[in-house]
Homo-oligomer: A and B are copies of this chain.
Amino acid sequence: MRISWLIGGPQGQGVDTSANLFGQAVAKAGYYIFGNREYYSNIKGRHSYFQTVLSDNPVHSVVSYADILVAFEPETVFQHFDEVRKVVIYDPSQASVSVPFVRSMEPEIAEEKSKLLENEGLRPTVNDAITYAVKRGAKAIGLDYDSIVVKVAEEVNVPRSVAERVKNVAAVGASLKVLGLPIDGLLEAVRNAFKNELFIRMNSLAAKLAYDQVPSVYDLKPLERKEPRVWMDGNTAVALGKLAGGLRFQSYYPITPAADESVYLEAVETIEMEVNALKKGGVIVVQTEDELAAINMASGAALTGARAATSTSGPGFSLMAEGIGWAGMNEVPVVITYYMRGAPSTGQPTRTGQADLKFALNVSHGEFPRIVIASGDHVEAFWDAIWALNLAERYQTPVIHLLEKAIANSYVVTEESNFRGEYVIDRGKLVRPETDYFPRFQVTEDGISPRVRLGDAGVFYSGDEHNEWGHITEASTNRRTMYEKRMRKLETADREIPEEKRVNVFGEGDYAVVTWGFTKGAILDVLDELQAMGVMAIQVRMFSPYPRNLMRKLLQGKKAIIALEGNYQAQGAEVMTEQTGVFPTHYVLKYNGRLITSDEVMEGVKRALKGERRVVLSAGQ
C-alpha cells in the first residue's frame, strides 16, 4: 500500500505547516512517510507544493501522481489537475476562476495547462480542471472553506482575515477523513506546532469542521510501531552525522538548499561529550562573507586539529575551487558538503539536479587526491557525513560529500535505530610532536604523513610546491617526490577501502541499472517489480577512488546496462566508462529539475528494455 498526498498553495501561506501537520498525524498513526517539497526561488506568492507518500512499509521516494490532491486556491488546481488519481479536494466557491486571473502562474505553465484542457474541449477554469480529473476517475470533494472560516471567526472571535489562515489546516483535517484515519493525531500535532493558544483553538476547530464535512474514501487503520521512529530531512541528517563524527567547526555562506544544515548546527551551540574533565564541547558555525572565505576558514580550522567542514551548493562550490586545491596541496582534512541543485549558474536554486558530479571529481587545477562520495538517501547521508570526516582525516585531503536538493529538502519517517550504532572516529596519523620544528610532509610509503596541530610545533604550509618541512622548493626531484607522495594517498585509499563499501548492489539479474544519489530511493521502492523483470541495480556511492574492479565484475556479461541519472550527459556513466571501459547500453535520464519518481524508474527501464536507447523522463510540475 502506498498513497500519494499532495497539497499546494502560494509560498508563505502555510503549505509547509499543513504538510508537516499532515505528516505528523499520519506518522503518529504508524505509517512510514516520504515527503518532498517543491517551491520556487521566491519568498511569497509563487506556487509551492508538498507531496507526502505514506505507506505501511518504508518508503524512499515520490511518485509522479497524486492519489489525493488538496487545494485551497485555484493555482494548485491548475498546476496539478492532470496528476490526480483518486481524490481532489478543492474550494467550490472558486470554480469559475480561470487561468488568466492567476497572475502568479508562469506564462509557460498557464499555456501548457490551458492547452491540456482545451484538447479535451474544456475551458481553463477551476471547474473544468476538476471535470478533467473526474473524467479520469478521480472523486471531487468540494470543501466549503468559507463556511469553516466564518465559523472559526465566530467561535474564536477573531476577524475573518485572521481566520482565513486556517484553510490549510482545514485541508489537512479533510485529508485525514478521506484516508479514514482518526483526527486525534492531527489535533495533537496542532497543539505541538503552535505556541499561541488562540491559534491552537482556531486550527483545531477548523480541522474538526473540515473532518466532519467530507466522506472517507480510504479505510486506513492506525498501525503498531515496534520501535521509535524519527522524522529526518536531508539537511538535518547530515548535520547530525557531522556532530556524531566530531565536527567542531563549520563555515558557510547562505545558499539554497545547503544553508539549513548550518542553521541547524548553529542552534546546537553546546555539545555534550563523554570526556572526563570539561564535559561540554561546542561547534563553531561562522557565516562568512562569501564561499571563498568559507572553504579557506574551514581549512584554517582543520589545521588546528578541529574537525572542519563547509556546506554549499553549486555556485558556492564553484567559488571554492581554488581553496579546495590549496587543501589538496597542503593535505588538509576538510569536508565539503555539496548539495546539488538545478545548474548551471544560478540555474534553478530550489529544484533538484544531479549534474555536478564531474565538476566535483575534477575541481580545481592540477592533480591531488579528491575523495568524492555520494549518498543515496537520508540514512546514508547521516553515515556518510561521519565517513567523510574520517576519510578526510585518514587520507589528509579534501572530501566532497555529494547530496541533492532532493535529499536535503525531503524527509523520511523511519526507525530511529537507523541512526544509532557505533560512531567510529579515525583521526589517522594525528600526532603530538616533541620537537620545536616538525616536518609536516614526511615522505612515507603510503603517502600519508604524520600530522600535528598548529600550536604543537613549528610547522609550515604552502600552496607552492614544498619540501617535507612545508617550505617552498622548486627542485625538480623534490617536485616529483612530493607529487607522487600526494597521489599515493589515493592509491592507498583505493587499497584500504573495500570496494563493496563503495557500491550498493540491489537484487540480481541479467540487466543492470547503474545509478547514484537520490535515485537509489526510487529504485528501492520498485525493487520487487524490477527483480521480477530480471533487473538488478547498482548504486555507486564513492566515485573517487572509484570501485573499478568490483564494477567491472558487476557489469560483466550483462545483457543491458542502463544508466539512470538526474542529468543530461549521464555523468556517472561517463565516469564508469573512463574507469572500466564499459559503456552503458541505454540511458534513462531526467533533468527538468524534479525528482525521479519510482514509477518513472519503471517506465524508463521498460522503455529502455523495449529498445529506446535514450529515455528522457519529465514528470513533475
By a beta-carbon cutoff of 8 Å, the part of chain A in contact with chain B is: 40-41, 46, 106-109, 112, 292, 314-315, 317-319, 321-322, 325-326, 328-330, 340, 342-351, 353, 355-356, 358-359, 361-368, 462-465, 467, 472-480, 483-484, 487, 567-569, 574-575, 577-578, 581-583, 591-594, 616, 618, 620-621
Contact = CB atoms under 8 A, between A and B. Distances in A.
Contact of A477 (B358, B365, B592): B592
B348 A480 contact: no
A476 B106 contact: no
Contact of A348 (B322, B464, B575): B464
Contacts of A484: 568
Contacts of A330: 345
Given A109-B475, A480-B591, 10 more contacts: A108-B477, A292-B319, A315-B322, A322-B345, A328-B344, A329-B346, A342-B366, A343-B367, A344-B367, A477-B618
Contact of A108 (B356, B463, B467): B467
Contacts of A366: 314, 342-345, 347, 353, 355-356, 359
A473 B292 CA distance: 29
Contacts of A342: 366, 465, 479
A9 B597 CA distance: 67
Contact of A347 (B463, B475, B480, B621): B463
Most central of A347, A479, A620 by chain B CB within 10 Å:
A479
Instruction: Please tell me how many copies of the chain the complex holds.
Output: 2
Contacts of A348: 464-465, 474, 479
A494 to B, nearest CB: 13
A462 B479 CA distance: 44
A474 B362 contact: no
A594 B319 CA distance: 30
A465 B347 contact: yes
A46 to B, nearest CB: 8
Contact of A345 (B292, B329, B356, B358): B329
A318 B315 contact: no
Given A318-B364, A569-B367, A346 B462 contact: yes
A116 to B, nearest CB: 11
Contacts of A463: 345-347
Contacts of A325: 314-315, 318, 343-345
B41 A592 contact: no
A367 B477 contact: no
Most central of A463, A467, A575 by chain B CB within 10 Å:
A463
Contact of A574 (B317, B479, B578, B582): B578
Contacts of A462: 346
Contact of A365 (B108, B344, B351, B574): B344
Contacts of A46: 474
B317 A318 contact: no
A323 to B, nearest CB: 8
B347 A618 contact: no
B345 A326 contact: yes
A480 to B, nearest CB: 4
8 interchain residue pairs of minimum CB distance: A343-B366, A344-B366, A314-B365, A345-B463, A318-B322, A346-B463, A578-B578, A329-B345
B474 A351 contact: yes
Given A346-B463, A348-B464, A592-B480, A106 B473 contact: yes
Contacts of A472: 41
8 contacts: A321-B321, A322-B345, A344-B364, A367-B567, A367-B591, A476-B594, A479-B592, A487-B568
Contacts of A344: 325-326, 328-329, 364-368
Contacts of A574: 578
Contacts of A321: 318-319, 321, 359, 363
